[in-house]
Structure formats: structure tokens, C-alpha cells
Structure 1
Amino acid sequence: MTIQTGDRIPDAVLNTFDDGVKPVSTKELFEGRKVVLFAVPGAFTPTCSNKHLPGYVNHIEDFRALGVDVLCFSVNDAFVMHAWGESQGVPADLKMLADGNAEFTKALGLELDGSAHGMGIRAKRFALYAEDGVVKVLHVEAPGEFRVSTAKSMLEAIKA
């Protein structure tokens, strides 16, 4: 079942890279915080690299001004997410997270089967806003679209 507005973020462990691969729990990431989490189908892919991630990098100050942490994740490994972040000039406080086995993605009910394109199970393109681990806004893109999960869209939703 797909996560909905009002639901609590499921307990899961993601990985980040900080002098090696480090596990981080969703509880640690969301508890007591305002957080935007956005997911991309794959690091280094065209829309993700040319539009999605750069939009959040360009608007990071706007999120900071609202006291909102920004997290990016994908069904990739932590090494790939780290390299992608470096290649995109991602600031240290925009966390690049890996869901290598898609366990968190499946717990959210937001998996995408890209097997027909040689990509296996991936995350759908989406963004959510949570306060203290409770989803307040959820924007899931229709297949092939890039509109509702943008940084601008999430900023507008948070301010509304």
C-alpha cells in the first residue's frame, strides 16, 4: 500500500557515504525535524541530473530559511549517490541517501519496475514533506512527468 498524507514514515535503514558507507535510520532522519525527501529513479540519469537534483541544490537556501532539511534518495548504492552528489556540487546539508535493495522504497509503496529498460526495481519520482516523521505533503509524478516533485512545487506546498 502506498504511503499517504498523515501516515508516519516507515522505519528503515538507508546508507550514506561519509568516509565510508554509513547506515542511517529513518527515525534519525525524520524525528523532530521538518524534512523534504525527494526520490529519483536513478543517479546520473538525464532528468534526475539535469533538472531534479539541480532544482533542490539551487533552492537549498529557501528550504534552510524555512527550517526544512532536504534529503535525496535513489535505489542506488551509497558510492554512486556520493559520486553523483560530488559531480553535481551538492552542499553537505543536502543528504544523498542510498536505498540499495529498495527496502525503504517498497515500504513506502512507491517502487517502479524498470526491468523492461534494464533498471530493475527503482523508486518512482516523488517528493514528500514530513514534520516529525508524519507526511504532510506527498507529490508523486505520473510516469514520464516532472512537475509536482520539483523544488519549486514543494516550496509552494510547504508555504501554503
Structure 2
Amino acid sequence: MIQPGQTIPDATVSQLTKDGLVNHKANELFANKKVVLFAVPGAFTPTCSEAHLPGYVVLADKIKAKGVDLIACVSVNDAFVMNAWGKAQNASEIMMLGDGDASFAKALGLEMDTEGFGGIRSQRYAMIIDNGVVKELNVEAPSKFEVSNAETILESL
């Protein structure tokens, strides 16, 4: 599992923009920026839709006021699903990133097998990244939502 002090790996995440599908190398996307990145097990799932993403939507301005250049949400879903979920959640201030094949989650060592639920997914976590280097990593225990929420990250900034 990636640790604070380590660099974000060279793995691809995707984003649906008004100009179409864009594939980003995560290490390049997060370079030269202060980033809050949070991951959810699945778009449109209960905790993710009722608490995790909405918390970041509500606190986006306060998080950015702490010098954060980019707030991004990633999930093992495709960019089309992530875009639709972002629109449904009014997440215009959040970059919605797809990790369709879980390659980013695997590169971080933060994948999990949910078996009957959906197969390989990302663990729920939040991290603060500064110029491509992980400064803080908060990984949730299974079935918990206590350390990756927007309020906790805001306090850490």
C-alpha cells in the first residue's frame, strides 16, 4: 500500500469532459498541485452517494480556501458513470475520475475484492497530495466511514 512520502504512481485514470474522454496519467495530473483525492467503492452506492461525495461537494470551497488546487473523486467505474454520478450529485467542483479496470487502485495497493458486490473495487480512502507526493493517507476499515470524510480532511489541511 502506498504510504505518505511516496509518489503517486504512473497509472491511468479517465475523465469525461465536454470535449470527450480524456485519459490522464495520475502522476502527471497531480504534479505541481495540492490535491485532495478521495476514493469510493462505487458510484451511486449508498454511503458514497449519501455521505462521502456530498460532504466534499458541501465543503469544496472551504477545502480550496486552504490552498487546494484540485479535489478529485475516483472509483472503479468508467468515466461515463463517474460523470453521470457527478452531475446527479451537483459535484461541479470535484473532478470525477474513472478507474474502470482498477489499475490505479492496484498501483496504489488499495484495491479490494468485493466478491458478489462488484469484484475488484477501490478501498474507501482520502489522501492529501502535494506535487505528486502523498502527504496524508486515511484508509477506512472495512464497512467504516470515519477518516476519509471531507470534515476530517479539511481539519488536516
Correspondences of 1:39-58 after superposition (within 5 Å): 39-58=39-58
Q: Name the count of aligned residue pairs.
A: 155
The structural deviation recorded for 1:116 is: 3.0
The structural deviation recorded for 1:100 is: 0.3
Tell me the distance in 2 between the aligned counterparts of 1:83 and 1:141.
Answer: 25
Tell me the distance in 2 between the aligned counterparts of 1:28 and 1:149.
Answer: 23
Provide, for residues 69-93 of structure 1, a one-character-per-residue CA deviation record: whole Å limited to 9, x for no partner. Answer: 20000000011000000000011x4
1:84 corresponds to 2:89? no
For residue 102 of structure 1, what is the amino acid of its counterpart? Answer: A
1:135 corresponds to 2:131? no
Check the 8 A contact 2:7/2:27 in 1, yes or no.
no
- Secondary structure of the equivalent of 1:59? helix
Tell me the distance in 1 between the aligned counterparts of 2:94 and 2:82.
Answer: 12
Extract unaligned runs of 5+ from structure 2: none
* Equivalent position of 1:64 in the other structure: 64
The structural deviation recorded for 1:156 is: 1.0
The structural deviation recorded for 1:21 is: 1.4
CA RMSD of aligned residues (A): 0.9
Tell me the distance in 2 between the aligned counterparts of 1:116 and 1:94.
Answer: 29
Correspondences of 1:140-151 after superposition (within 5 Å): 140-151=139-150
- Secondary structure of the equivalent of 1:14? strand
Provide, for residues 79-114 of structure 1, a one-character-per-residue CA deviation record: whole Å limited to 9, x for no partner. Answer: 1000000000011x4100000000010000000101
* Equivalent position of 1:126 in the other structure: 125
Divergent runs of 4+, >2 A: none
Tell me the distance in 2 between the aligned counterparts of 1:79 and 1:141.
Answer: 26
- The TM-score with structure 1 as length reference comes to 0.94
* Equivalent position of 2:104 in the other structure: 104
- Secondary structure of the equivalent of 1:137? strand
Extract unaligned runs of 5+ from structure 1: none
The structural deviation recorded for 1:24 is: 1.3
Deviates more, 1:142-151 or 1:25-34: 25-34
- Secondary structure of the equivalent of 1:115? coil
Tell me the distance in 1 between the aligned counterparts of 2:45 and 2:104.
Answer: 21
